[in-house]
Structure 1
């Protein structure tokens, strides 16, 4: 997999390291990114089920108005 080098504020990275409980800035940021992606996939799964359920509902035809 290709690697990307970025610059981040040191205080931000230290806070992420503390919250993630890891000693490496690389590992801390990687954990945050992986968690963000996993959360997005979980959200997609939940909304997909809702969308599918709404599509499956058959609405009764309405009487013509006018």
Structure 2
């Protein structure tokens, strides 16, 4: 996997290290990025499920009322 070097504010990285419970700045930032990506995938899956349910509901023939 290709690597990317970036510069971040030291206080920001220390805060992430404390919150993530890791001792390495590299690991801390990686944890945050992986979590962000996973959250995005969960959101996409949830939206897809809601749209699928909506389409199923709309496709069902409505029973006559009255």
**Taking structure 2 as the reference length, what is the TM-score of the superposition?**
0.84
Counterparts of 1:44-55 in structure 2, within 5 Å, are 44-55=44-55
Aligned residues: 60
Residue 45 of structure 1, CA deviation? 0.8
Q: CA RMSD in A?
A: 1.2
Report what 1:43 is aligned to. Answer: 43
Corresponding residue SS for 1:57: helix
More helix, by proportion: 2
Query: Which ranges of structure 1 fall in alignment gaps of 5 or more residues?
Result: 61-66
Identify the range of structure 1 (26-35 vs 50-59) with the bigger mean alpha-carbon deviation: 50-59
User: What is the alpha-carbon distance in structure 1 between the residues aligned to residue 18 and residue 57 of structure 2?
Assistant: 47
Corresponding residue SS for 1:22: coil
Corresponding residue SS for 1:2: coil
Q: Deviations over 1:37-57 (max 9, x none)?
A: 001111111110001111122
Report what 1:23 is aligned to. Answer: 23
**Taking structure 1 as the reference length, what is the TM-score of the superposition?**
0.84
